[in-house]
Amino acid sequence: MKNYMKLELAAIGENESFARSAVAAFALCLNPSLAELSDIKTAVSEAVTNAVVHAYGKESREHSLWIECRADGDEDGGVLHITVTDGGCGIEDVERALLPFYTTLENDERSGMGFTIMQTFMDGFSLESERGKGTKVTMLRYIGREKIPNEKNQDAVKERTDA
Amino acid sequence: MQIQSDYKNGVLYMRLSGEVDEHNAVAARSRADQLADRYATCERVIFDLSEVSFMDSTGIGFLIGRYKRFRRYGVPVYLMNTTKAVDKILEMSGVYTLMPKM
């Protein structure tokens, strides 16, 4: 079975809960465990929050973010691909942004753990960003099946990103 | 995200409930800080997280922010009743080194 969905949302905080719930509902076609669903919701929440808080600044309400999901598998499990894209300011220093506890908004009580959580909770992760054009986060999660070593997952994410 | 408080024998209990994310943490922050200022002379503070149904990295920022607030008053902060999902986030971010789990 192959399944997909595409969502366009206003880049506003009110949509953070909707976005993670929508992806979790979509993932149900792969029959995930509660722990897997919880990881997926958390990772999506981090990606969407980044787009809401960082991508467009104070004009966030006027802009969109996009979520695409693809499921390959069946009720015994499979692979869930998720991309979260914005058309905002982009990330100045991607390498630095990926460091645990790094944040550009220290006074706002941001923990700087968003990307670390996405990387830890998912089986594959990649980040593309261009100044002034936007940011795209691609994540992959194996559901209900034996995990593949992490380097292979990164290759799978890369192949998908390149395609 | 809601906060209910209870003060007993020098201990301030703060029970968080609902979803802890960036959007709904704003109101909870000011409510928690009002409580912190009001009970600045308490012996310790315990956050009860049993009713938290979802938490992302906002929760880390929220708890560390409150920890700093109480530290000004010399009040130690503890966490209790963490769910498995919440535990995973707090453990990986080292929050328990500042606020031990009871």
Angle at the Cα of A68 (from A67 to A74), degrees rounded to 5? 135
Distance CA B55, CA A41 (A): 9
Q: Does residue A131 have an active-site annotation?
A: no
- B82-87: long-range contacts, CB 8 A cutoff, minimum separation 24: B82/B49, B82/B50, B83/B49, B83/B50, B83/B52, B84/A35, B84/A38, B85/A35, B85/A38, B85/A42, B85/B54, B85/B55, B86/B49, B86/B52, B86/B55, B86/B59
> Measured between CB atoms, does A49 come within 8 Å of chain B?
yes
Rounded to the nearest integer, the mean pLDDT of chain B is 95
The pLDDT of residue A161 is 56
| Residue B65: its H or E element | helix B57-72
Is the pLDDT assigned to residue A158 strictly greater than 80? no
The pLDDT of residue A113 is 92
Angle at the Cα of A105 (from A102 to A110), degrees rounded to 5? 70
The predicted complex's ipTM stands at 0.91
> Measured between CB atoms, does A109 come within 8 Å of chain B?
yes
Distance CA A43, CA A59 (A): 24
pLDDT for A60-97, tens place per residue? Answer: 788 999 999 999 998 888 999 999 999 999 999 999 99
pLDDT for B44-58, tens place per residue? Answer: 999 999 999 999 999
Tokens found for residue B51: 């009713």
| Residue B7: its H or E element | strand B2-8
Distance CA A45, CA A131 (A): 23
pLDDT for A5-16, tens place per residue? Answer: 999 999 999 999
The H helix count followed by the E strand count for chain B is 4, 4
* Rg over CA atoms, chain B: 12
* Percentage of chain A modeled with pLDDT above 90: 71
Is the pLDDT assigned to residue A152 strictly greater than 80? no
pLDDT band of A148, cuts 50, 70, 90 = low
Distance CA A17, CA A5 (A): 17
The dotted CATH code for B2-98 is 3.30.750.24
The pLDDT of residue A75 is 85
Is the pLDDT assigned to residue B66 strictly greater than 80? yes
Distances (CA, A) of B2 to B14, B17, B24, B51, B59: 10, 5, 9, 10, 13
Tokens found for residue B49: 């997280």
The minimal CB distance from A14 to the residues B23, B58, B93 is found for B23
User: Which of the residues A15, A50, A141, A153 is marked catalytic?
Assistant: A50
At residue A156, the 3 state secondary structure works out as helix
The pLDDT of residue A103 is 87
Q: Rounded to the nearest 5°, which phi and psi values hold at A90? A: 80, 170
Q: Rounded to the nearest 5°, which phi and psi values hold at A121? A: -85, -20
pLDDT band of A101, cuts 50, 70, 90 = confident
Domain boundaries, chain B: 2-98
User: Which of the residues A3, A31, A70, A110 is marked catalytic?
Assistant: A110
Size of interface A-B (CB pairs under 8 A): 66
The pLDDT of residue B42 is 96
The minimal CB distance from B19 to the residues A17, A108, A113 is found for A17
Structural domains for chain A: 2-162 (3.30.565.10)
- Give chain B's largest Cα–Cα span: 34
- Test B54 with A20 for CB contact under 8 angstroms: yes
Higher pLDDT, A57 or B86: B86
Q: Does residue A46 have an active-site annotation?
A: yes
Q: Does residue A153 have an active-site annotation?
A: no
The pLDDT of residue A66 is 98
Is the pLDDT assigned to residue B102 strictly greater than 60? yes
User: Which of the residues A46, A95, A141, A159 is marked catalytic?
Assistant: A46
